[in-house]
Amino acid sequence: MSFRKVVRQSKFRHVFGQPVKNDQCYEDIRVSRVTWDSTFCAVNPKFLAVIVEASGGGAFLVLPLSKTGRIDKAYPTVCGHTGPVLDIDWCPHNDEVIASGSEDCTVMVWQIPENGLTSPLTEPVVVLEGHTKRVGIIAWHPTARNVLLSAGCDNVVLIWNVGTAEELYRLDGLHPDLIYNVSWNCNGSLFCSACKDKSVRIIDPRRGTLVAEREKAHEGARPMRAIFLADGKVFTTGFSRMSERQLALWDPVSESLPALHENRPGPSPLCFCIVTSRAP
């Protein structure tokens, strides 16, 4: 009786990454340990920004991309918030402008010097106040200048005119629970959001209306994410009831976000889902 070992065939099976050298990395950065589901960093063609540990408020580093190696603990930071910084995002229209959201319920917009920081930056260009709880999501509009989206733990999404510090739109009845993330589509006419109630929503911010919604996009209790792709599809990551990692692709053209490939295997006939691994 013969036993034959079954190995899953994959063209990536023998592909290995080559780690970069230490002098090409950014070392000794004290990344923030605040309990918030965020990337804690943002990058553009000129600078790398990283949210860091800070006493007496919130701060983040802004490093020129060429400044690799060990980072001095005394390196100047952007430190105008009175609470921990939760999210940062570079302006897509100006590589020297960055916005930050914080536990102090404010959004601040900063002008970074052309050659980077030489001293701590404490004075923002604009302070946006409108949330009643901590602000955990910041997203610049992809095509319109000086338009910024913020979302907070008050379940409210605000659209700002940064140039005048005015509130353009307030969306406060579309999310019944904590908002995990927000993503604009390519032209900025819509954005999608992932919520703690396990729903993925597509929203028209100008009309303040819900364009499409998919309930229980991922049935697990752990946080999920949703982003718009270039072709208008929505890509989500989340977890199953058994805490298995899931990836899903949704087509927002039809009602209730029916899937692009309905004939593929998955936990729902309306989604193309890949279970990749069991989460730790």
pLDDT tens track for 218-239: 999 899 999 999 988 999 999 9
Q: Does 36 share its domain with 100?
A: yes
Give the pTM: 0.85
Question: Does the residue 7 lie in any domain?
Answer: no
In this structure, are 125 and 88 located in the same domain? yes
Residue 16: inside a domain: no
* Same-domain check for residues 198 and 106: no
Task: Please give the average per-residue pLDDT across 263-276, as a whole number.
Answer: 39
- Do 166 and 29 belong to one domain? yes
Domain co-membership, 72 together with 140: yes
Residues 101 and 36 in one domain: yes
Is 3 within a domain? no
pLDDT at position 32 is 92
Mean pLDDT of the chain, nearest integer: 87
pLDDT, one tens digit per residue, over 194-217 is: 999 999 999 999 999 999 899 999
Instruction: Give yes or no: residues 216 and 138 share one domain.
Output: no
Which of 144, 172, 200 delimits the end of a domain?
172
CATH number for the domain harbouring residue 219? 2.40.128
Of the candidates 172, 190, 206, which is a domain's last residue? 172
Counting the structural domains of the chain, the total is: 2
pLDDT digits (tens, 9 = 90+) for 85-106: 999 999 999 999 999 999 999 9
Residues 194 and 133 occupy one common structural domain: no
CATH number, domain with residue 54: 2.130.10.10
Sequence-distant (6+) residues with CB within 8 A of 134 are: 83, 86, 101, 102, 103, 104, 105, 152, 153
In our burial notation (b when 16+ CB lie closer than 10 A, e otherwise), range 4-41 reads eeeeeeeeeeeeeeeeeeeeeebeebeebebebebebb
What residues make up the domain containing 100?
Answer: 23-172
User: Does the residue 18 lie in any domain?
Assistant: no
In a domain, 17, yes or no: no
Least confident among 10-14, 120-124, 274-278:
274-278
Structure-model confidence comparison of residues 47 and 12, the more confident one: 47
Average pLDDT score over residue span 183-196: 95
Higher per-residue pLDDT: 105 or 278: 105
* Mean pLDDT of all residues in 116-134: 96
Same domain, yes or no: 168 and 182:
no
State yes or no: pLDDT of 113 exceeds 60. Answer: yes
Which of 119, 143, 172 corresponds to the end of one domain?
A: 172
165: phi > 0 → left, psi -120 to 50 → alpha, else beta; which? Answer: left
Q: 182 and 156, same structural domain?
A: no
Q: Is the pLDDT of residue 265 over 70?
A: no
CA atoms of 92 and 158, how far apart (whole Å): 19
The confidence score (pLDDT) of residue 259 equals 44
**Do residues 29 and 166 both lie within one domain?**
yes
Sheet (strand 191-195) strand order: 179-184, 191-195, 200-204, 209-214
Position 65 pLDDT exceeds 90: yes
**How many CB atoms lie under 10 A from the CB of residue 120?**
12
Are 163 and 81 found together in one domain?
yes
Contact 199, 217 (CB under 8 A): yes
| % of the chain exceeding 70 in pLDDT | 87
